[in-house]
Amino acid sequence: MLHFYRQLQPIKVITFDLDDTLYDNYFVIRAAEQAFLDCLQQLAAIDITDWQHYKQQLLQQDPIRYEDVIVWRQTAAAQLLKAQGLKDADIQNIIQQSMQLFVEWRHKIDVPPKNRQFLTELAKHYPLVAISNGNVYPPKIGLDQFQLILRGGEHGRAKPHPDLFQQTARHFQCTMQQILHVGDNLVTDVQGAIEIGCQAVWINNQQQSLFAFAEATTLPTLAVAEVTDLAFLIKN
């Protein structure tokens, strides 16, 4: 599937979202969350409802700070354990063990070989950048094709804020229009990229209509079913 909504302009840099763009994140994130909570429950007998409450409370108090999802997770766990009366040293130890397990499971990702091969070929023609609001480190899942890795919260404001797109333009000394961003989310990826002046590819792997998304207010440059549909970008 290849559907153009706007005319594609010359490209200098291609940026990619990670989760649900280059691989299916559905089961991975749930397994990682479960491993994290199982560890917390084993070490401190936490209540899942309390955990969810602390996470939401923090996000409401300071949404910008907790765009860094790792800081958000660690802070929520620390406050929950503190409320249970645990000592600081014990809290630190429990969080360290739980986070280590979370990160391990978070990177048990199966990247489709054809996507991996496509990125390798594409990287011969364009600088590639990973721009993600998540916490996956691409080299840990075998994706070493990116010249720059930017994560929302850690390196700047999370998408759809323009910060990470602007950093990319400065890094490669290009205009915003010369950046093509590829992602599955119509708000954080497509709207975020288009509104700052980049071009955007919507990964529509369910082949749904744009009209099915009430939150979608901006058309992408083009839509594809999967990243390998962008093979036409590879220069002969």
Q: Which residues have a catalytic role annotated?
A: 17
Supply 125's token pair: 């023609």
Cα atoms found within 13 Å of the Cα of residue 179, Cβ hemisphere only:
32
Cα atoms found within 13 Å of the Cα of residue 85, Cβ hemisphere only:
1
Pairing of strands 222-224, 2-4: antiparallel
Distance between CA atoms of residues 76 and 78, nearest Å: 5
Q: How many other CB atoms sit within 10 Å of the CB of residue 134?
A: 19
Give how far Cα 133 sits from Cα of 43, 70, 148, 232, Å. 29, 11, 14, 27
Supply 128's token pair: 């590639």
- Determine contact, residues 23/139, Cβ cutoff 8 Å: no
